[in-house]
Protein backbone atom coordinates (compact mmCIF):
# COMPACT_ATOMS: atom_id res chain seq x y z
CA UNK A 1 0.00 0.00 0.00
CA UNK A 2 2.66 2.40 1.05
CA UNK A 3 4.94 1.61 -1.88
CA UNK A 4 2.01 1.72 -4.32
CA UNK A 5 1.17 5.19 -3.07
CA UNK A 6 4.81 6.17 -3.42
CA UNK A 7 4.99 4.88 -6.96
CA UNK A 8 1.86 6.79 -7.90
CA UNK A 9 3.30 9.98 -6.49
CA UNK A 10 6.55 9.42 -8.31
CA UNK A 11 4.84 8.71 -11.61
CA UNK A 12 2.57 11.71 -11.21
CA UNK A 13 5.52 13.84 -10.25
CA UNK A 14 7.40 12.95 -13.40
CA UNK A 15 4.45 13.34 -15.74
CA UNK A 16 3.07 16.49 -14.21
CA UNK A 17 6.34 18.03 -13.12
CA UNK A 18 5.32 21.45 -14.33
CA UNK A 19 2.27 21.40 -12.09
CA UNK A 20 3.31 19.43 -9.04
CA UNK A 21 6.45 20.52 -7.34
CA UNK A 22 8.69 18.53 -5.18
CA UNK A 23 10.32 20.35 -2.47
CA UNK A 24 11.92 22.89 -0.30
CA UNK A 25 14.73 22.68 2.21
CA UNK A 26 12.37 22.22 5.15
CA UNK A 27 15.10 22.08 7.73
CA UNK A 28 18.86 21.84 7.96
CA UNK A 29 21.51 20.81 10.42
CA UNK A 30 24.73 22.60 11.24
CA UNK A 31 27.40 20.23 12.52
CA UNK A 32 24.48 18.00 13.49
CA UNK A 33 22.32 20.62 15.25
CA UNK A 34 18.77 20.97 13.93
CA UNK A 35 17.47 24.24 12.45
CA UNK A 36 13.99 24.86 11.12
CA UNK A 37 13.87 26.05 7.52
CA UNK A 38 11.22 28.01 5.65
CA UNK A 39 8.17 25.85 4.94
CA UNK A 40 5.08 26.52 2.89
CA UNK A 41 2.89 26.70 6.03
CA UNK A 42 4.68 29.95 6.85
CA UNK A 43 3.47 31.51 3.64
CA UNK A 44 -0.10 30.82 4.71
CA UNK A 45 0.67 32.02 8.26
CA UNK A 46 1.84 35.26 6.72
CA UNK A 47 -1.27 35.61 4.54
CA UNK A 48 -3.62 34.74 7.42
CA UNK A 49 -1.96 36.39 10.40
CA UNK A 50 0.62 38.76 8.95
CA UNK A 51 3.49 36.91 10.60
CA UNK A 52 5.35 33.63 10.67
CA UNK A 53 8.19 32.13 12.72
CA UNK A 54 11.65 33.65 12.40
CA UNK A 55 13.90 31.26 10.53
CA UNK A 56 17.23 31.60 8.73
CA UNK A 57 15.76 29.96 5.63
CA UNK A 58 14.60 32.51 3.08
CA UNK A 59 10.94 33.24 2.51
CA UNK A 60 9.73 32.23 -0.97
CA UNK A 61 6.43 31.88 -2.75
CA UNK A 62 7.05 28.57 -4.46
CA UNK A 63 3.50 27.67 -3.56
CA UNK A 64 3.48 24.58 -5.75
CA UNK A 65 6.88 23.56 -4.32
CA UNK A 66 7.91 24.01 -7.92
CA UNK A 67 10.86 25.23 -9.87
CA UNK A 68 12.34 28.08 -11.86
CA UNK A 69 12.51 27.34 -15.59
CA UNK A 70 15.22 28.57 -17.98
CA UNK A 71 12.94 31.28 -19.35
CA UNK A 72 13.19 32.92 -15.90
CA UNK A 73 17.00 32.70 -15.53
CA UNK A 74 17.34 36.46 -15.97
CA UNK A 75 14.61 37.34 -13.45
CA UNK A 76 15.11 37.80 -9.68
CA UNK A 77 13.20 34.56 -9.12
CA UNK A 78 16.33 32.58 -9.96
CA UNK A 79 18.12 34.18 -6.97
CA UNK A 80 16.39 32.35 -4.12
CA UNK A 81 13.12 31.19 -5.73
CA UNK A 82 9.86 33.04 -6.41
CA UNK A 83 9.41 36.45 -4.72
CA UNK A 84 12.02 35.44 -2.20
CA UNK A 85 13.04 37.56 0.78
CA UNK A 86 15.82 37.14 3.35
CA UNK A 87 15.28 34.98 6.42
CA UNK A 88 14.71 37.03 9.60
CA UNK A 89 17.50 35.36 11.55
CA UNK A 90 20.94 33.94 10.85
CA UNK A 91 22.34 30.50 11.62
CA UNK A 92 25.92 30.34 12.88
CA UNK A 93 28.48 27.90 11.52
CA UNK A 94 32.26 27.72 11.87
CA UNK A 95 34.26 27.71 8.62
CA UNK A 96 34.96 24.04 7.89
CA UNK A 97 31.56 23.10 9.35
CA UNK A 98 28.94 21.05 7.57
CA UNK A 99 25.40 21.99 6.60
CA UNK A 100 22.99 19.18 5.78
CA UNK A 101 19.98 20.26 3.74
CA UNK A 102 16.79 18.19 4.18
CA UNK A 103 14.47 18.31 1.18
CA UNK A 104 10.78 17.66 1.67
CA UNK A 105 7.96 16.99 1.89
CA UNK A 106 7.85 14.42 -0.89
CA UNK A 107 10.39 11.78 -1.68
CA UNK A 108 12.45 13.48 -4.39
CA UNK A 109 11.11 11.98 -7.63
CA UNK A 110 13.70 13.03 -10.18
CA UNK A 111 16.82 10.88 -10.56
CA UNK A 112 18.51 13.03 -13.25
CA UNK A 113 20.46 16.23 -12.79
CA UNK A 114 23.22 17.97 -10.84
CA UNK A 115 23.23 19.56 -7.38
CA UNK A 116 25.11 22.82 -6.84
CA UNK A 117 25.74 25.12 -3.86
CA UNK A 118 26.89 28.74 -3.78
CA UNK A 119 27.84 31.37 -1.20
CA UNK A 120 27.49 35.14 -1.42
CA UNK A 121 28.77 37.58 1.19
CA UNK A 122 26.52 40.31 2.60
CA UNK A 123 28.12 43.67 3.35
CA UNK A 124 26.16 43.91 6.62
CA UNK A 125 23.50 41.59 7.95
CA UNK A 126 21.96 39.23 5.41
CA UNK A 127 18.54 39.62 7.04
CA UNK A 128 17.85 42.82 5.11
CA UNK A 129 20.15 42.37 2.14
CA UNK A 130 19.13 43.53 -1.33
CA UNK A 131 19.09 40.11 -3.00
CA UNK A 132 20.03 41.56 -6.38
CA UNK A 133 23.31 42.79 -4.88
CA UNK A 134 24.45 39.26 -3.99
CA UNK A 135 27.32 37.81 -6.05
CA UNK A 136 27.52 34.04 -5.95
CA UNK A 137 30.54 31.76 -5.77
CA UNK A 138 30.13 28.04 -6.33
CA UNK A 139 31.45 26.00 -3.40
CA UNK A 140 30.02 22.58 -4.26
CA UNK A 141 29.00 20.83 -7.45
CA UNK A 142 28.05 17.29 -8.26
CA UNK A 143 26.98 16.07 -11.70
CA UNK A 144 27.02 12.52 -12.95
CA UNK A 145 29.35 9.63 -12.23
CA UNK A 146 30.41 8.58 -15.73
CA UNK A 147 31.17 4.98 -14.79
CA UNK A 148 27.87 4.32 -13.00
CA UNK A 149 25.74 6.97 -14.81
CA UNK A 150 24.34 7.91 -11.39
CA UNK A 151 23.39 11.59 -11.08
CA UNK A 152 23.61 13.73 -7.95
CA UNK A 153 19.80 13.73 -7.79
CA UNK A 154 19.85 9.93 -7.45
CA UNK A 155 22.51 10.18 -4.75
CA UNK A 156 20.22 12.62 -2.88
CA UNK A 157 17.35 10.12 -3.15
CA UNK A 158 19.60 7.27 -1.99
CA UNK A 159 20.64 9.38 1.01
CA UNK A 160 17.02 9.93 2.04
CA UNK A 161 16.49 13.39 0.48
CA UNK A 162 19.42 15.05 2.18
CA UNK A 163 22.60 16.69 0.92
CA UNK A 164 25.69 17.65 2.84
CA UNK A 165 27.91 20.66 2.10
CA UNK A 166 31.11 21.68 3.90
CA UNK A 167 31.99 25.37 4.22
CA UNK A 168 35.59 25.94 3.05
CA UNK A 169 37.71 26.06 6.20
CA UNK A 170 39.85 28.95 4.91
CA UNK A 171 36.84 31.26 4.44
CA UNK A 172 36.91 34.54 6.32
CA UNK A 173 34.31 35.07 9.04
CA UNK A 174 31.29 37.12 8.02
CA UNK A 175 27.67 37.09 6.97
CA UNK A 176 26.84 34.99 3.95
CA UNK A 177 23.83 33.58 2.14
CA UNK A 178 24.14 29.96 1.08
CA UNK A 179 22.23 29.07 -2.08
CA UNK A 180 21.68 25.35 -2.43
CA UNK A 181 20.13 24.20 -5.69
CA UNK A 182 18.81 21.03 -7.26
CA UNK A 183 18.58 21.01 -11.05
CA UNK A 184 16.16 18.31 -12.23
CA UNK A 185 17.09 17.33 -15.76
CA UNK A 186 14.41 14.82 -16.81
CA UNK A 187 13.04 17.37 -19.30
CA UNK A 188 16.38 18.96 -20.22
CA UNK A 189 16.26 17.53 -23.75
CA UNK A 190 13.71 20.21 -24.67
CA UNK A 191 14.15 23.97 -24.67
CA UNK A 192 13.04 25.42 -21.31
CA UNK A 193 12.88 21.90 -19.87
CA UNK A 194 15.40 22.11 -17.02
CA UNK A 195 13.92 22.63 -13.53
CA UNK A 196 15.91 24.70 -10.99
CA UNK A 197 15.03 24.51 -7.30
CA UNK A 198 17.12 27.17 -5.50
CA UNK A 199 16.90 27.50 -1.69
CA UNK A 200 18.68 30.10 0.46
CA UNK A 201 19.69 30.31 4.11
CA UNK A 202 21.47 33.08 6.06
CA UNK A 203 24.73 31.96 7.64
CA UNK A 204 27.07 33.75 10.01
CA UNK A 205 30.37 32.03 9.34
CA UNK A 206 32.84 32.19 12.22
CA UNK A 207 36.45 31.20 12.72
CA UNK A 208 39.87 32.50 11.83
CA UNK A 209 39.82 31.92 8.07
CA UNK A 210 41.65 34.51 6.02
CA UNK A 211 40.27 34.06 2.52
CA UNK A 212 37.54 36.21 1.02
CA UNK A 213 35.33 34.77 -1.67
CA UNK A 214 36.59 35.53 -5.18
CA UNK A 215 34.47 37.83 -7.35
CA UNK A 216 31.10 36.18 -7.75
CA UNK A 217 28.31 36.14 -10.30
CA UNK A 218 24.86 37.70 -10.10
CA UNK A 219 22.28 34.91 -9.92
CA UNK A 220 20.66 36.32 -13.05
CA UNK A 221 23.92 35.62 -14.92
CA UNK A 222 24.61 32.10 -13.57
CA UNK A 223 22.92 30.16 -16.37
CA UNK A 224 21.77 30.48 -19.95
CA UNK A 225 18.92 28.37 -21.34
CA UNK A 226 21.29 26.94 -23.97
CA UNK A 227 24.24 26.10 -21.69
CA UNK A 228 25.50 22.59 -22.49
CA UNK A 229 24.60 21.40 -18.99
CA UNK A 230 21.10 22.96 -19.14
CA UNK A 231 19.89 21.90 -22.58
CA UNK A 232 21.01 18.32 -23.29
CA UNK A 233 19.56 14.86 -23.73
CA UNK A 234 19.69 13.03 -20.38
CA UNK A 235 18.44 9.76 -21.89
CA UNK A 236 21.73 8.58 -23.32
CA UNK A 237 25.08 7.50 -21.94
CA UNK A 238 26.62 10.72 -20.66
CA UNK A 239 30.38 11.02 -21.10
CA UNK A 240 31.07 14.77 -20.92
CA UNK A 241 28.53 16.55 -18.76
CA UNK A 242 29.39 20.22 -18.12
CA UNK A 243 28.02 21.24 -14.73
CA UNK A 244 26.34 24.64 -15.22
CA UNK A 245 27.44 27.85 -13.54
CA UNK A 246 30.81 29.49 -12.86
CA UNK A 247 33.98 27.76 -11.69
CA UNK A 248 34.07 25.88 -8.41
CA UNK A 249 35.96 27.56 -5.53
CA UNK A 250 37.21 25.36 -2.75
CA UNK A 251 39.05 27.87 -0.64
C1 LIG B 1 13.13 17.85 8.34
O2 LIG B 1 12.68 17.84 6.99
C3 LIG B 1 12.56 16.54 6.46
C4 LIG B 1 12.23 16.72 4.98
O5 LIG B 1 10.98 17.30 4.84
C6 LIG B 1 11.50 15.78 7.22
O7 LIG B 1 11.41 14.47 6.69
C8 LIG B 1 11.88 15.73 8.67
O9 LIG B 1 10.85 15.13 9.41
C10 LIG B 1 12.13 17.13 9.20
N11 LIG B 1 12.64 17.03 10.56
C12 LIG B 1 12.00 17.55 11.58
C13 LIG B 1 12.64 17.31 12.92
O14 LIG B 1 10.97 18.19 11.47
C1 LIG C 1 31.75 6.49 -9.51
O2 LIG C 1 31.19 5.36 -8.91
C3 LIG C 1 32.13 4.31 -8.66
C4 LIG C 1 31.34 3.09 -8.19
O5 LIG C 1 30.55 3.42 -7.06
C6 LIG C 1 33.13 4.81 -7.64
O7 LIG C 1 34.07 3.80 -7.38
C8 LIG C 1 33.83 6.04 -8.18
O9 LIG C 1 34.67 6.58 -7.20
C10 LIG C 1 32.81 7.09 -8.60
N11 LIG C 1 33.50 8.17 -9.28
C12 LIG C 1 33.43 9.41 -8.87
C13 LIG C 1 34.16 10.41 -9.72
O14 LIG C 1 32.81 9.74 -7.87
C1 LIG D 1 29.51 17.15 -24.93
O2 LIG D 1 30.48 17.47 -25.92
C3 LIG D 1 29.92 17.88 -27.14
C4 LIG D 1 31.06 18.07 -28.11
O5 LIG D 1 32.06 18.85 -27.53
C6 LIG D 1 29.12 19.17 -26.95
O7 LIG D 1 28.52 19.57 -28.15
C8 LIG D 1 28.03 18.90 -25.93
O9 LIG D 1 27.36 20.11 -25.66
C10 LIG D 1 28.62 18.34 -24.66
N11 LIG D 1 27.54 17.97 -23.78
C12 LIG D 1 27.47 18.34 -22.53
C13 LIG D 1 26.27 17.89 -21.78
O14 LIG D 1 28.31 19.02 -21.98
The helix/strand/coil state of 121 is: strand
- Ligand 1, pocket residues at CB < 6 Å: 26-27, 34, 102, 104-105, 161
Q: How far, in Å, is the centroid of ligand 2 from the Cα of 242?
A: 17
- Ligand 3, pocket residues at CB < 6 Å: 228-229, 232, 240-242
Question: Quick one: pLDDT at residue 64?
Answer: 87
Q: How far, in Å, is the centroid of ligand 2 from the Cα of 141?
A: 15
At residue 197 the predicted structure's pLDDT band, cuts being 50, 70 and 90, is very high
Q: Which atom of ligand 3 is nearest to the CA of 229?
A: 13
Q: Which residues pair with 57 in a beta bridge?
A: 201
- CA-to-CA distance for 75 and 77, rounded, in angstroms? 5
Q: How far, in Å, is the centroid of ligand 1 from the Cα of 156?
A: 15
Q: How far, in Å, is the centroid of ligand 1 from the Cα of 26?
A: 6
Q: Which atom of ligand 3 is nearest to the CA of 239?
A: 1
DSSP secondary structure of 37-85: ---HHHHHHHHHHS-----SBPB---TTS--B-GGGTTSTHHHHSTT-B
Check pLDDT > 90 for residue 6.
no
Task: Judge contact between 244 and 183, C-beta under 8 A.
Answer: yes
At residue 154 the predicted structure's pLDDT band, cuts being 50, 70 and 90, is very high
Q: What is the pLDDT of residues 34-70, one digit of tens each?
A: 999 999 999 999 999 999 999 999 999 999 889 999 9
Angle at 156 between CA 155 and CA 158, to 5 degrees: 60
Question: Quick one: pLDDT at residue 20?
Answer: 54
- Ligand 2, pocket residues at CB < 6 Å: 145, 147-148
- CA-to-CA distance for 142 and 117, rounded, in angstroms? 9
Q: Which residues of 69-79 are buried (b: 16+ CB within 10 A; e: fewer)?
A: bbebbeebbbb
Closest C-alpha to ligand 3, atom 9: 228
Strand order of the sheet with strand 162-166? Answer: 33-36, 23-30, 98-105, 162-166
Closest C-alpha to ligand 3, atom 7: 228
For residue 190, how many other CB atoms are within 10 A of its CB? 9
Q: Which atom of ligand 2 is nearest to the CA of 146?
A: 1
Check pLDDT > 80 for residue 152.
yes
- CA-to-CA distance for 98 and 38, rounded, in angstroms? 19
Matching CATH number, 4-221, of 3.30.70.270, 3.30.70.360, 2.70.50.70, 3.30.310.10: 2.70.50.70
At residue 114 the predicted structure's pLDDT band, cuts being 50, 70 and 90, is very high
Closest C-alpha to ligand 3, atom 1: 240
Amino acid sequence: MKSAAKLTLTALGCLAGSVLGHGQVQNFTINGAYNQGFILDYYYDKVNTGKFPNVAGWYAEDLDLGFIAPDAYTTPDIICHKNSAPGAITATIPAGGTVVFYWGPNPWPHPYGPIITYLAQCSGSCTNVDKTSLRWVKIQESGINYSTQVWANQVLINQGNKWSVTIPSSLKAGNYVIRHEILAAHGAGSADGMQNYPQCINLAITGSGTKSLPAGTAATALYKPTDPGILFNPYTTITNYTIPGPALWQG
